[in-house]
Amino acid sequence: MRVELITIGNSRGIRIPKPLIQQCGLGDTVDLRVTADGLVVAPHRAVRQGWREAFAASAPVKDDELLLDNLPPNAFDSEEWEW
């Protein structure tokens, strides 16, 4: 779809047709970023949105294991570490 830039004060803007807004899930606030291909307009998402659900779905707590538990002490552990 081709749209024309419109003047808004000292800036330029575009009008996004309602069907595209609905299709893309845009709200009142959007995120803009520049890529090698041009300007990307994306729905605004809160920082870390969805992380809680992704973490909860990753693995049950009972399956957690300490990865560093069986490592022997190194020079930092025996010489440099202080309580």
Q: Which domains does the chain have, with CATH numbers?
A: 1-57 (2.10.260.10)
pLDDT tens digits, residue range 15-58? 999 999 999 999 999 999 999 999 999 999 888 888 888 888 87
Find where tokens 């294991």 sit.
Answer: 65
Classified as helix, coil or strand, 26 is coil
The more confidently predicted of residues 79 and 11 is 11
The more confidently predicted of residues 1 and 61 is 1
Model-wide pTM > 0.85:
no
* Residues 4-28 as b or e (16 or more Cβ within 10 Å = b): eeeeeeeeeeeeeeeeeeeeeebee
pLDDT at 33: 95
Type of residue found at 52? R
